[in-house]
Amino acid sequence: MARPEHRMTVERTEQVSPHLVRVWFSGPGVAQIAENGDSDRYVKLIFAPEGVTWPESSSVAEIQESAQPEEQPILRTYTVRRLDADAQQVAIDFVVHGDEGVAGPWAAGAQPGESMRFFGPGSGYRPDPGADWHLLVGDESALPAVAAALEAMPADAVARVYLEVAGPDDEVALDAPAGAQVRWVHRGGASHEVPEELTGAGSPLVAAVREGEWLDGDVQVFVHGEAEAVMKNIRPYVRKERGVPAARAASISGYWRRGRTEEGFRRWKADLRAAEEGQPA
């Protein structure tokens, strides 16, 4: 059975930071997103390859069935940053580094009135007000979800937050509880341009988490970003070295993988999952 698709329209754009563009969408499809109350709710935006147009009356399922390989829809996953249910508007933040990728360049040039198809929403996390404290970790790809999580926490929540961005100009204002301590770390450049020694185990984000204060009590963990840094370094630290039970560390995963498209990243995740389960992908 084909997944239900929805549509929304670009209302306006905002330059949040030098490398972050916020696109506001409106339309009936927003109602589907509003029904989901998790702070990490996401949608799969559907892009046409450059130079390709599809009939407005055709569904994505029909396009996937009939289009040539080079004309197939391109799916990119993005967190919903803000939602105005009354106005039926949502905001999605896009990391933009020149013409790198598919969604970033589109967002940089998005114009009011443009139509966007999407699947979703999906989700899996919301801050538990019963936790003694929260650990939130991410790079730019996870920044919208981390920001939304902080906004969803009660006023007396305690959190330790570690965020990696290119440089000081890429830090953004966060609406966080008084008990949340935020540490920004800088790579010194775009994520795909940094030297090899600043990736994976050498990531400034990994170092910040390992060096950071670890509080006593029941912790709920939210860690997302580049897959090697998250899955091969931060996750083992949280689960094995710190002994956080799986139920409290259920939201740890890569959002992207250096050197891979989202399609390649999905294959990498399937291979990793199979290896961890001891089964073929």
What is the count of structural domains for the chain? 2
Determine, yes or no, domain membership for 127: no
Give the integer Cα–Cα distance in Å for 16 and 262: 24
pLDDT band at 262 (very low <50, low <70, confident <90, very high): low
The domain that contains 218 carries what CATH number? 3.40.50.80
Are residues 254 and 217 located together in one domain of the fold? yes
Share of the chain above pLDDT 90, in %: 76
- Range of the structural domain that residue 169 is part of: 133-278
The domain that contains 118 carries what CATH number? 2.40.30.10
Residue-wise pLDDT tens digits, 24-82: 999 988 998 998 999 999 999 999 999 999 988 889 999 999 999 999 999 999 999 99
Closest CA to 32 of 22, 46, 44: 44
Q: Which residue has the higher pLDDT, 12 or 51?
A: 12
pLDDT band at 257 (very low <50, low <70, confident <90, very high): confident
pLDDT band at 157 (very low <50, low <70, confident <90, very high): very high
Question: In the predicted model, what is the mean pLDDT of the chain?
Answer: 91
Are residues 15 and 96 located together in one domain of the fold? yes
Are residues 140 and 251 located together in one domain of the fold? yes
Are residues 239 and 112 located together in one domain of the fold? no
Question: 105: how many CB neighbours lie within 10 A of its CB?
Answer: 16
Residue-wise pLDDT tens digits, 163-189: 999 999 999 999 999 999 999 999 988
Burial class (CB in 10 A: 0-12, 13-18, 19+), 65: exposed
Identify the domain boundary among 77, 102, 122: 122
